[in-house]
Amino acid sequence: MTIEQQRLRVLVAGIVSLILMIGVARFSYTPLLPIMAQQAGLGAADGGWLATYNYIGYILGALIAASVSDLQLKDRLYRCGIIVAIVTTVGMGMTENLWLWGILRFLAGLSSAAGLLLGSGLIMNWLVRHQFRSELGLHFAGVGLGIAFCSLVVEVAETYLSWDQQWYLFTVFAVALAIPAWTWLPKPDQSQLGAQQAKLQDQPPGKSFINLMMAAYFCAGVGYVISATFIVAIVNQLPGTEGQGNLAFLLIGLCAAPACLIWDHIARKTGLMNALLIAFLIHIIGVLVPALDHSPAAIMIGSALYGGTFIGIVSLVLTMAGRFYPTKPAKMMGKMTISYGVAQILAPAVTGLMAEQSGSYQDGLYLAAAFMLLGTVLLLVARSKADHETAIMDQLSLPSRS
């Protein structure tokens, strides 16, 4: 096998692992939520709590991933994540016990962290060691493809299968996806990279800049998670768009798939902070449009804008961490992930309670937009601070004010 063929297999393994551990293990819950509400009696508040348990698992997984430096251990945990993704998916269809569902969603969150953080790190490590440009933008297309895949499966299957049978169908797909995700990613090589990496220098930003970015990223977490959890239920509930929730979710996934590559290109033209500001503003519009206009066209426009920005924001922050800490990007990403993760723990539970009291998820969309607006203000303050600190300015490619 040629090195180019190996590269293709490694990239496909990474994308497929995200479809499995982010798509099936995490996002299959979103289109199945309204079906479980109808057929299994899952209430709005309980549905929000299940999402919260999932994000608690994710943030714990993120903390574990950030604390592990041994590549062999990372590889073992990644492969454990593949197994957990399959087990938790089949388990969701085998019970109607809310506490067991909560445990399974928590474990699925651990699996998602293994796919997104450990898997991405292993992919990057292989590419760098074999002198390939790190193509994480292409790798992260797996998130959008996973969303699109799950929405398509539910759209086709809901006519023929009950809620629990659809979980079993996802299990079949999970097993099929696990084969390339497991076999096509080689065991990591822990040998030294050579002199080129030794020349890399960390250029950490000031504490106030980090705190501002953590607060802005918390706001982004709220802006992301409400639609990610409830969008299908939101769209299905609106007058005139009943039954179109899966289509909206499909559009989100299709727009998310190329988003990282697009935002990487924008950041090269405008600088990282400016690209983040643009993404935040577009995200606000994407969240607000379905709340203000319930027409099918508005729903699809909002879904496209949301899908095209949420994963882009994550990839831009990952890039920022790599710029400041090229030798140990997890140093900044650990802090940022905690901030983003706390938002994802709190917001679904709050939104579910609001929906149960009001009978509508619309207030959740306003909540998401308000936090994204606050995050935009925090980014502007952080950008102003970066303009006055040379180390930060250099890493973010900001124009000088001299």
Dig out the tokens for 12 from the structure.
């496909």
Question: Using one digit for the tens of pLDDT, what is the confidence trace for 182-202?
Answer: 999 988 876 554 434 445 566
Q: What DSSP line would sit under 147-213, residue for residue?
A: HHHHHHHHHHHTTTS-HHHHHHHHHHHHHHHHHHHHHSSPPPP-S---HHHHT----PPPHHHHHHH
Question: Using one digit for the tens of pLDDT, what is the confidence trace for 102-141?
Answer: 999 999 999 998 998 888 878 877 877 777 765 667 888 8
Are 227 and 205 contained in the same domain?
yes
- Choosing from 142, 161, 186, the residue where a domain stops is 186
Are 5 and 131 contained in the same domain?
yes
- For the chain, the straight-line distance linking the first and the last C-alpha, in angstroms and rounded, comes to 54
Are 250 and 178 contained in the same domain?
no
Are 338 and 234 contained in the same domain?
yes
For residue 278, give every residue at least 6 positions away whose Cβ sits within 8 Å of its Cβ, in sequence order, or none: 266, 270
For residue 323, give every residue at least 6 positions away whose Cβ sits within 8 Å of its Cβ, in sequence order, or none: 203, 272, 395, 396
The answer to whether residue 42 sits within a structural domain is yes
Question: Using one digit for the tens of pLDDT, what is the confidence trace for 5-60?
Answer: 888 899 999 999 999 999 999 999 989 998 999 999 998 889 889 988 998 998 89
Q: State the pLDDT at residue 398.
A: 56
Pair 129, 252: CB distance under 8 Å = no
Whether the model clears a pTM of 0.85, i.e. scores above it, the answer is no
Are 286 and 255 contained in the same domain?
yes
Q: State the pLDDT at residue 308.
A: 93
- Choosing from 141, 156, 186, the residue where a domain stops is 186
Are 139 and 245 contained in the same domain?
no
Are 141 and 177 contained in the same domain?
yes
Q: Which domain holds residue 215?
A: 199-402
Among candidates 208, 201, 358, 373, which has minimal Cα distance to 285? 373
- The CATH number of residue 280's host domain is 1.20.1250.20
Q: State the pLDDT at residue 353.
A: 85
90-94, 114-118, 140-144, 386-390 — most confident range: 90-94
For residue 83, give every residue at least 6 positions away whose Cβ sits within 8 Å of its Cβ, in sequence order, or none: 178
Average pLDDT, the chain: 85
Are 179 and 236 contained in the same domain?
no
Q: State the pLDDT at residue 19.
A: 95
- Choosing from 158, 186, 214, the residue where a domain stops is 186
The answer to whether residue 56 sits within a structural domain is yes
Among candidates 6, 19, 330, which has minimal Cα distance to 189? 6
Mean pLDDT of 145-149: 92
